[in-house]
Structure 1
Amino acid sequence: MAKKVVATLKTPGGKDWAKVIRAVRSPKTGSYTFKEEMVPVDKVQEFIATGVK
């Protein structure tokens, strides 16, 4: 997956995106999983405030 993200960021307009990684706790087991999402830079704070989709 890293290669895909790096290739995306090298294209024109690629710097307008940010990769957000969030730790989410499972209600069933109590363990944490990580959710990754590519988000426009100007929407990062909004994405963090809303929670996981």
Structure 2
Amino acid sequence: MAKKVVATLKVAGGKDWAKVIRAVKSDKTGAYTFREEMVPVDKVQEYLSTGVK
């Protein structure tokens, strides 16, 4: 996964994106899992303030 992010940053406009990692708790087991997504830099706060999609 990291290689893809590094490759993305090398192209023009790649720095306009941020990798967001969110911990999500399962209702069924109570265990945490992690979701990774690439989000535009200007939408990071909006993404973090909303619930999991």
TM-score by length of 2: 0.94
Deviation (angstroms), 1:38: 0.3
C-alpha distance in 1 between matches for 2:11 and 2:29: 40
Count of paired positions: 53
Cα distance, 1:43 vs structure 2: 0.2
Q: Distance in 2 between matches of 1:22 and 1:51?
A: 10
Output one character per residue of 1:3-42: Cα deviation in whole Å (capped at 9) or x when no partner.
1111001111000000000000000000000000100000
Q: CA RMSD in A?
A: 0.6
How far, CA to CA, are the matches of 1:10 and 1:32 in structure 2? 32
Percent identity of paired positions between Structure 1 and Structure 2: 83
The 1-side partners of 2:21 and 2:48 are apart by 10
Alignment match, 1:52: 52
Partner of 1:21: 21
* Amino acid of the structure 2 residue aligned with 1:5: V
Structure 1: where are the runs of 5+ without partners? Answer: none
Unaligned residue ranges in structure 2 (runs of 5+): none
